[in-house]
């Protein structure tokens, strides 16, 4: 669906050349929800602007549905860009137009006749859950409702790709969840390919199928969301994963527990997918003479299945503990000893 090949963008700043996107190769499948995560300055916005043809690459190519958008111009490019739509962090709505008129706007531009426009707007208003608010102005809407207008407007001309630029960063956690749910719903119902950029790992966790991690203009890690959560490789990915799985509280708890139980081992277990529903802990205690104290645990649900972490204090002889850990590893549960007692 989307093929980025050796894509680079170099800006000529007053102080010399700055490589914002550096030799990126990516392949995004039709119907996929693909996340790109990185800290500020990583090159995410530049990459997304290259994707919708707003920026020309310094080298490399962007192919969308078999069409190399870096090689076309004028009306051909405008047509190709209609297939790629976008929603924004600050919604970018027309403030003097109502909900209905905002959604209608791209249809007007595309030359759709009035009667068809009305029917399409009605359909979109229902799709994004704004029925009854058609005649409100953006200033009368909540942040979540504004983003719903943004989504409806982006979908008006039936795009094949929806680009989301930090689309939930200005929203509170509950509203964020409802907008993310809407995006998943649209992806399933319309088979729309969604590419989103964010600096928040919980957004990736909640809705993405695959994720690319960007740092310094490069993609430093790429994979299935569950796999990246289970075994992040790059240092930066580990930090992003920790945003979702390690709370300050748990770090504090572990520190306190080390003080309280200086004799035990603290072990972090990582469960993935079906394992989160298996009674592995029960089996462990039945099979091995170790004492187990649960320190902290959580399960995070991703689009690709569940991901759980559990911190245990294990007491027993070194031999018993190492056998218990070997059993867990044999059950494909990852273990990491967090203290040496
Ligand atoms: N038009 C431009 N001219 C010069 N430098 C630019 C331009 N656009 C972006 N940059 C630089 O390119 C680098 C990547 O910026 P980009 O906005 O793509 O990163 P980002 O990951 O989206 O970060 P943010 O979330 O802060 O926007 C930054 O160092 C930025 O200053």
* pLDDT tens sequence across 306-341: 888 888 889 999 899 999 999 999 988 888 887 644
Contact 222, 35 (CB under 8 A): no
* pLDDT tens sequence across 70-101: 888 888 888 888 889 999 999 999 999 999 99
Residue nearest to atom 16 of ligand 1 (CA): 43
Q: What sections of 43-172 are H helices per DSSP? A: 44-51, 74-82, 99-109, 114-127, 143-155
Residues 235 and 251 in one domain: no
Residues 236 and 270 in one domain: no
Number of domains within the chain: 2
Ligand 1 near 300 CB (within 6 A): no
Ligand 1 near 89 CB (within 6 A): no
Residues 239 and 256 in one domain: no
Q: What is the mean pLDDT of the chain?
A: 90
- Please identify which residue in the block is written with the tokens 């740092």: 215
* pLDDT tens sequence across 116-159: 999 999 999 999 999 999 999 999 999 999 999 999 999 999 99
Residues 159 and 21 in one domain: yes
Question: Last residue of a domain, which of 174, 209, 243?
Answer: 243
Ligand 1 atom closest to Cα of residue 12: 4
Question: Last residue of a domain, which of 243, 265, 284?
Answer: 243
Ligand 1 atom closest to Cα of residue 217: 14
Provide the residue range defining the domain that includes 37. 2-243
- Please return the burial class of 113, using the count of CB atoms within 10 Å of its CB with bins 0-12, 13-18 and 19+: exposed
Residue nearest to atom 4 of ligand 1 (CA): 11
The pTM of this model reads 0.85
- Please return the burial class of 96, using the count of CB atoms within 10 Å of its CB with bins 0-12, 13-18 and 19+: exposed
Residues 273 and 144 in one domain: no
- Is the pLDDT assigned to residue 181 strictly greater than 50? yes
Residues 223 and 319 in one domain: no
Q: What share of the chain is helix, strand, coil (3-state, %, to 5)?
A: 40, 30, 30
Ligand 1 near 159 CB (within 6 A): no
Residue 133 CA from chain centroid, whole number: 29
Question: Last residue of a domain, which of 228, 243, 258?
Answer: 243
Instruction: Assign residue 317 the CATH number of its domain.
Output: 3.30.70.260
Residues 133 and 223 in one domain: yes
């Amino acid at each position: 669906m989307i093929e980025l090949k050796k894509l680079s963008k170099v800006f000529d700043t007053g102080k010399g050349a700055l490589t914002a996107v550096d030799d990126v190769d990516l392949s995004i499948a039709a119907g996929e929800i693909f996340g790109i995560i990185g800290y500020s300055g990583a090159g995410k916005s530049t990459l997304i602007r290259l994707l919708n043809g707003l920026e020309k690459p310094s080298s490399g190519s962007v192919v969308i549905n078999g069409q190399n958008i870096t090689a076309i111009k004028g009306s051909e490019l405008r047509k190709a860009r209609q297939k790629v739509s976008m929603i924004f962090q600050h919604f970018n709505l027309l403030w003097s137009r109502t909900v209905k008129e905002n959604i209608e706007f791209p249809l007007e531009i595309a030359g759709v006749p009035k009667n068809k426009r009305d029917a399409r707007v009605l359909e979109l208003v229902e799709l994004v859950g704004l029925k009854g608010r058609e005649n409100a102005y953006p200033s009368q809407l909540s942040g979540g409702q504004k983003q719903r207008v943004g989504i409806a407007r982006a979908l008006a001309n039936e795009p094949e790709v929806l680009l989301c630029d930090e689309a939930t960063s200005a929203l509170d956690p509950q509203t964020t969840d409802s907008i993310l749910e809407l995006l998943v719903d649209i992806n399933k119902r319309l088979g729309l390919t969604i590419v989103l950029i964010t600096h928040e790992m919980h957004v990736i966790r909640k809705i993405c199928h695959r994720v690319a991690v960007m740092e310094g203009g490069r993609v430093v890690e790429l994979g299935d969301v569950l796999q990246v959560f289970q075994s992040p490789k790059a240092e930066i990915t580990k930090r992003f994963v920790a945003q979702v799985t390690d709370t300050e509280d748990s770090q504090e708890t572990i520190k306190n527990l080390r003080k309280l139980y200086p004799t035990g081992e603290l072990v972090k277990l990582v469960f993935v997918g079906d394992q989160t529903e298996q009674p592995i802990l029960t089996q462990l205690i039945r099979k091995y003479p170790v004492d187990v104290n649960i320190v902290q645990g959580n399960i995070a649900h991703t689009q690709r299945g569940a991901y759980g972490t559990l911190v245990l204090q294990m007491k027993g002889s070194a031999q018993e503990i190492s056998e218990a850990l070997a059993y867990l590893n044999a059950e494909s549960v990852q273990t990491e000893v967090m203290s040496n007692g």
